[in-house]
Amino acid sequence: MNKYPSSVHALEGAVVYMADAGDRDVLVCEGKPYFGGSEGVNRFELTHEVACTLRRLFPFTAPKRVLGEKRSFGLGDRLGIACPGHIRVISKFDVMPVFAQQSIRELDLTHRTYEDVLDAATFAVFRENFTRGFGADGDHLKKPADIEYALSLGFTMLTLDLSEHIHADASGKYSQDVDALYAGKTFEVEGEKISFTAEELQRVKGVYGEALDFAKEMYDRFLKDGRYDCDLEISIDETDTPTKPSEHFFVANELRRLGVDVKTVAPRFIGEFQKGIDYIGDPKQFDAEMKVHAAIARQFGYKISVHSGSDKFSVFPYVGEETKQNYHVKTAGTNWLEAMRIVAAHDPRLYREIHLFALESFAEARKYYHVTTDLNAIPDIGGLSDAQLPELFNDNNARQLIHITYGLILSARNEDGSFRFKTRLYAFWRAHSEEYAQALEKHIGRHLSMLGCPRAD
Ligand SMILES: [Zn+2]
């Protein structure tokens, strides 16, 4: 059994560390039986109970609030194995990480729980001795039961998704009478003028009014009394049209009036933020709009949050600049793509099987994700040599094919009930964990560099 050197931590009368037990990691406590058992050497599987005890004994392994920091970066880990690589890259930059970050959609598609997600981060920071702290984000939550679930586990960031209460046709109702506050008025934000005609106000109220009422209801119910140590992000990004400056201003000003303390807001930006590929649109136009959104955020004392941030290299410099290095950026699926790129490079047979399965499953996966993938543009895998397979991950269509079919790939079963790919994949990734960590370090490092994030001292 190989001890992870950086995982060795002393407690009064005991030493606690993690070790590689071949097909899995285990936790060992030598001395006083802090995790149960009797005095001596006790070995434990990485269960939720062990994670809870670890968080109690070693506070750096428990999540904390991070949105109040200048820069924060979300690294959703769909597989529960990316965190050691994420730690490696985050250690080199001056930014606060959110290592636990999943939406209910992702949990459903990967058959994981919030316990799994949080525990994977706890064990990773303990193993690697990453003591800077990290956040845990209940991402894109819409229902009170889901919010309660994440908060009760100690998640430190709630991303409240208002999309179900945003009415593009302006048919929504708002409890507040705000006509006298906005109609015919012009507001100034860092020299930028934002005006509301009576008609524009009616429209904005109809689109966002109900969403604002819902935000206040959820804030008052869960966060106002401070019983949970948690920051609030408001997400209005999952809409069909970009958020206009007037809309963002209205939402920001109303949140303040309603007493909703928000740390980040995620608007929907101009252009397309599709999963796992670079920005689609005119970066200059993005820059112009980001400037206004960032100014509004500054005026109201919160940070802009950029979702679907994986691989948006062409606009990152503008995010960094216009926000004056005050941002939250979320990435999620990109670590899954990096994991699959390594499969393509080292186990071409397995990759070919999965690729063909993904092609068959694409129509089903597409129900959950907005992408414009052209399957016909993906090279026929039968005509590619093994050495050419990793290059598929430089092709946007092939990237999206693998990106959105993750849930189906991981849950596919054989006739006898065993997993068709999952067991082989996890065994493969365990054997290639060093390559995976290196790939993540490079790939996520490129994100942070393009954002202009300063290096850690
Ligand atoms: Zn989002």
Tens of pLDDT, residue by residue over 183-231, are 999 999 999 999 999 999 999 999 999 999 999 999 999 999 999 999 9
| Distance from residue 424's CA to the centre of ligand 1 (Å) | 31
| Distance from residue 28's CA to the centre of ligand 1 (Å) | 39
Mean pLDDT throughout 110-123? 97
User: Active-site residue among 146, 233, 322, 347?
Assistant: 233
* Per-position b or e across 338-372, b if 16+ CB within 10 A of its CB: bbbbbbbbbbbeebbebbebbeebbeebeeebebe
Q: Whose CA is closest to 358, among 411, 424, 305, 309?
A: 411
| Distance from residue 237's CA to the centre of ligand 1 (Å) | 5
| Distance from residue 273's CA to the centre of ligand 1 (Å) | 10
Mean pLDDT throughout 110-118? 96
Q: What is the mean pLDDT of the chain?
A: 96
Rounded CA-CA distance 96/304 in Å is 15
pLDDT tens-place string over residues 259-312? 999 999 999 999 998 888 899 999 999 999 999 999 999 999 999 999 988 999
Q: Whose CA is closest to 255, among 199, 304, 217, 200?
A: 217
Query: Active site includes 233?
Result: yes
Rounded CA-CA distance 209/398 in Å is 40
Question: If you ran DSSP here, which 8-state letter would residue 244 be given?
Answer: P
Q: Does position 244 have pLDDT exceeding 90, yes or no? A: yes
| Distance from residue 234's CA to the centre of ligand 1 (Å) | 10
pLDDT tens-place string over residues 41-100? 999 999 999 999 999 999 999 999 999 999 999 999 999 999 999 999 999 999 999 999
The reported pTM is 0.95
Query: Active site includes 441?
Result: no
| Distance from residue 352's CA to the centre of ligand 1 (Å) | 31
Q: Whose CA is closest to 331, among 345, 347, 319?
A: 319
| Distance from residue 102's CA to the centre of ligand 1 (Å) | 11
pLDDT at 240 (0 to 100) = 86
Ion ligand 1, residue ranges at CB < 5 A: 237, 307
Question: pLDDT-based confidence at 375, cuts 50/70/90?
Answer: very high
Question: pLDDT-based confidence at 370, cuts 50/70/90?
Answer: confident
User: Active-site residue among 77, 139, 146, 347?
Assistant: 139
- Beta-carbon contacts of 44 under 8 Å, excluding residues fewer than 6 positions away, are 26, 27, 28, 29, 35, 36, 50
User: How many Cβ atoms are within 10 Å of 307's Cβ, its own excluded?
Assistant: 24
Residue 297, φ and ψ in degrees, nearest 5: -60, -45
